[in-house]
Amino acid sequence: MNSMEKINQFRDDRDWRQFHQEKDLALSITLEAAELLELFQWKTSEEAKEQPERLKEELADVLIYSYMMADNLGFDIDEIIDEKLKKNALKYPIEQSKGQR
């Protein structure tokens, strides 16, 4: 099974899809992003990286809810990433963007 299939099996096994309205998924992605960000509160990047297990877990949570949202909306993960990178490439042409923040 790929990651999307595993995530869907997890929620279907528990009959949880009924709770996963998209507004609550969007809210959950934000909450998980905040939990990841919390690992950096009052810290430098270097200090935060001393907790790789916590980083793994919180980042995984962001991804899991994002995958659920994609599935709910019928989006293909790789396709929407590819489309967005193409839009970004037009907005930030290599020549003008190189080394510029």
Site for a copy of itself in 23-82 (CB under 8 A): 23-24, 26-45, 48-49, 52, 55-57, 59-64, 66-67, 69-70, 73, 75, 77-78, 80-82
Q: Based on the shown chain and the rule CB under 8 A, indicate whether residue 85 belongs to the binding site for a copy of itself.
A: yes
The two three-digit tokens of residue 18, written as one number: 């009924």
First to last CA, the chain: 39
Q: Find the shortest distance in angstroms from Cβ 90 to a copy of itself.
A: 12
Does 83 help bind a copy of itself (rule: CB under 8 A)?
A: yes
Residue 1: CB minimum distance to a copy of itself, A: 9
- Residue found by looking up tokens 């020549």 in the block: 95
How many residues make contact with a copy of itself (CB under 8 A)? 71
Asked if residue 91 binds a copy of itself (CB under 8 A), the reply is no
Question: What are the C-alpha distances in Å from 62 to residues 24, 36, 68, 98, 100?
Answer: 13, 8, 10, 29, 28
| Closest among 33, 24, 32 to 69, alpha carbons compared | 24
* Minimum separation from the CB atom of position 74 to a copy of itself (A): 9
* ∠ CA 17-19-20, rounded to 5°: 65
